[in-house]
Chains A and B, each alone.
Chain A
Amino acid sequence: MNSRTADGRQLLEVDNVTLRFGGLVALDEVNFAMRTGEILGLIGPNGAGKTTCFNVMTGMYRPTAGTVRFQGRPLIGRKRHEITRSGIARTFQNVRLFPEMTALENVMVGADIRDRTSVLGALFRVPRYWREERASRAKAMEMMEFVGIADRAGEVSRNLPYGVQRRLEIARALATDPALLCLDEPAAGFNPSEKAALLQLIRAIRDRGVTVLLIEHDMRLVMEVTDHIVVLEFGKKIAEGSPAEVREDPRVIAAYLGVPTDAA
């Protein structure tokens, strides 16, 4: 799967995005587009600006220049929760769950996103409260089953093993019904068999119709799972193409020279 298998409609366009922190240029006129249904890999050496790029897309940072359009509408300047509501969900490089809440509750926070029960509705337990509460719980359980951790639903998330926490974060993000899921180094700290399972999971996510943006260090995983790859170095895009093209690209090889291809 090295041609762009997606259905061709543009889901997200990153257009000439530049981000400066004081004198430091974190992103320098980065351009790329994602199509609905594809798995796009965003790779590059440490400090290349991958996570920063993520953060611009999800509203954590506001770019100095350039625009990001999602489903044809500009994202810049919208509030974070609105961006999530419009269909972009993410996970974090260093897992950021709600540690004191149970796994189920964590996912329910994501599933609550489309609920319309008001504070007064919850206070007086109106019929809509019961309906939406049931729906949220069912949705959360479905997502946990999907990522394969339904048996841990009642456990407090801080007590869960690392691998389960990573999956839980994915379930929480999926529960918001995203059109685009951004995974920030989901395989960090995984052993080969866990990585293989993750690879299956990412494909399954795509098969649900969710477009996936993947930041990952493990080249083997990226080459295997993605349809299209964007390579960043020092905040600049240095290459873009199918995994096969990127692998052969001299600039990419130079950027990674001395860095083992499966450094993770």
Chain B
Amino acid sequence: MIDQKTAMPRRTWRNRNGNGSPFRGRWARLPRSARWASLLGVALLAYLLPYVGSIPGIGPQIVTEGIDWPSALFNISYFVLLALGLNVVVGYAGLLDLGYVGFFAVGAYSVALFTSPDSILNTGWSWLAAVPVAIALTLVSGVILGWPTLRLRGDYLAIVTLGFAEIIRNTANGAEFMRGDRGFGGIPHPPGSLGDNSPIFGVRDATPYYWLGLTIIVVVIIGVRNLEHSRVGRSWLAIREDQEAAEMMGVRTVKYKLWAFAIGAAIGGFGGVMFAGEQGFLNSATFQLLFSILVLAGVVMGGSGNIPGAILGGALVSYVPDRLRGVEIAGTDAFQFRMLIFGFMIIVVMVFRPQGLLPSRRRAAELADRAKEATA
């Protein structure tokens, strides 16, 4: 049965927000080529972000002070990646996952286990060789978590997923082969070298890692969008909106929920793989629960169920605290206030914009176009 208490009010508050912003309407009316061109432009600008500091005037306002700007951008890139993955699980399929960091950890640890000289496996693979294995393992871990928990209702699922992340963290802490807080060192960086034989992915400059992250993000966006505009995406939304009615319409809910978990997990695993490749070291202290909670806050703050929203939310969650590092407020470093300010930001955004900064308008205008095409 759908929960009347929660399902009914939703309609009213959404209604009040009317039928989308003027921007959205204009965007939908643009010809297809113009839309593609603008998206390409946005992507290009994103690749140029490492140099934003050189823009006179606003540039220095944007770049971070307490942490070098390319590193901050790299942080943003894996937070955005995680937000995109979590958006599949929470935003599309409506499965509340509080332990998403668990998949990030599975991805990162898989790489560490197969590549690090500290690992008992002693395989010493390259980073690239470990990537497919790590992604496969996270995918499987998503299914393993999903399988027993799919029958649970929303809030129960939340605590079980949270427990799952804690189990992974505690295993990393407690199991001998996971090396606890001693961690794994010497994790190789991604391959490739420049003309003068210096590696592309070095230790001094995080810019290439950011570009790598951005490239993965672009690929993930395309993939997620493809799924969204297919029977898979429709099945997810139907499950989110009314699981029982979806079943009655022939949707195989178990299958699609499992896929949502697996795909979300795999994307989170990608984040972990990137993280391990950049840091070169990881231990059990890396994967705090707070991390998943931040990513979830990002997704909802940005606009759950909407790709641009997830991107914006993920970026904010990483950028705002990093930007506050090294800034002086009333004579003290704002670094120690960063989470406080961030918490206030969450409250203010959610109270004044409960639908998120970039809410999903269920593709209304776009689909209206297509409906016309179909009848013509």
Shortest distance between the CB of A113 and any CB in chain B (Å): 4
CB-CB < 8 A to B367: which residues of A? 102, 104-105, 153-154
Q: Say if the beta carbon of B351 comes within 8 Å of chain A.
A: no
Q: Say if the beta carbon of B231 comes within 8 Å of chain A.
A: yes
Other A-B pairs beyond A123-B226, A136-B231, 5, CB < 8 Å:
A58-B248, A100-B240, A112-B231, A115-B231, A122-B232
Q: Say if the beta carbon of A158 comes within 8 Å of chain B.
A: yes
CB-CB < 8 A to A123: which residues of B? 223, 226-227
Question: In the complex, A100→B249 CA distance in Å?
Answer: 16
Chain A at the B interface: mostly helix, strand, loop or mixed? helix
Q: A-contacting residues of B (Cβ < 8 Å)?
A: 2, 7, 10-11, 14-15, 19, 223, 226-227, 230-235, 237-238, 240-242, 244-253, 259, 263, 305, 360-365, 367-371, 374-375
Other-chain residue from B232, B241, B248, B371 in contact with A101 (beta carbon distance below 8 A) = B241
Q: B-contacting residues of A (Cβ < 8 Å)?
A: 58, 60, 79-81, 84-85, 89-90, 92, 96-102, 104-105, 108-110, 112-113, 115, 117, 119, 122-125, 129, 132-133, 136-138, 141, 145, 150, 153-156, 158-159, 172-173, 176
Question: In the complex, A130→B370 CA distance in Å?
Answer: 14
Which has the most chain A C-beta neighbours within 10 Å: B240, B245, B246? B245
Is the CB–CB distance between B234 and A109 below 8 Å? yes
A-B contact pairs, 5 of them (CB 8 A): A112-B251, A123-B227, A150-B375, A153-B368, A156-B364
CB-CB < 8 A to A172: which residues of B? 249
Is the CB–CB distance between A154 and B365 below 8 Å? yes
Which has the most chain A C-beta neighbours within 10 Å: B10, B19, B371? B371
Shortest distance between the CB of B287 and any CB in chain A (Å): 28
Is the CB–CB distance between B241 and A99 below 8 Å? yes
Other-chain residue from B250, B253, B259, B370 in contact with A110 (beta carbon distance below 8 A) = B250
CB-CB < 8 A to A156: which residues of B? 19, 361-362, 364
With A122-B230, A122-B231, A153-B367 known as contacts, the answer to whether A102 contacts B250 (CB < 8 A) is no
Chain B at the A interface: mostly helix, strand, loop or mixed? helix
Is the CB–CB distance between A109 and B230 below 8 Å? no
With A80-B248, A92-B245, A137-B370 known as contacts, the answer to whether A102 contacts B363 (CB < 8 A) is yes
Other-chain residue from A110, A122, A137 in contact with B249 (beta carbon distance below 8 A) = A110
CB-CB < 8 A to B233: which residues of A? 122
Shortest distance between the CB of A161 and any CB in chain B (Å): 13
CB-CB < 8 A to A80: which residues of B? 244, 247-248
CB-CB < 8 A to B227: which residues of A? 119, 122-123
With A112-B235, A153-B368 known as contacts, the answer to whether A102 contacts B362 (CB < 8 A) is yes
With A123-B227, A153-B367, A155-B364 known as contacts, the answer to whether A98 contacts B241 (CB < 8 A) is yes
Q: Which residue of A lies closest to B2 (CB)?
A: A96
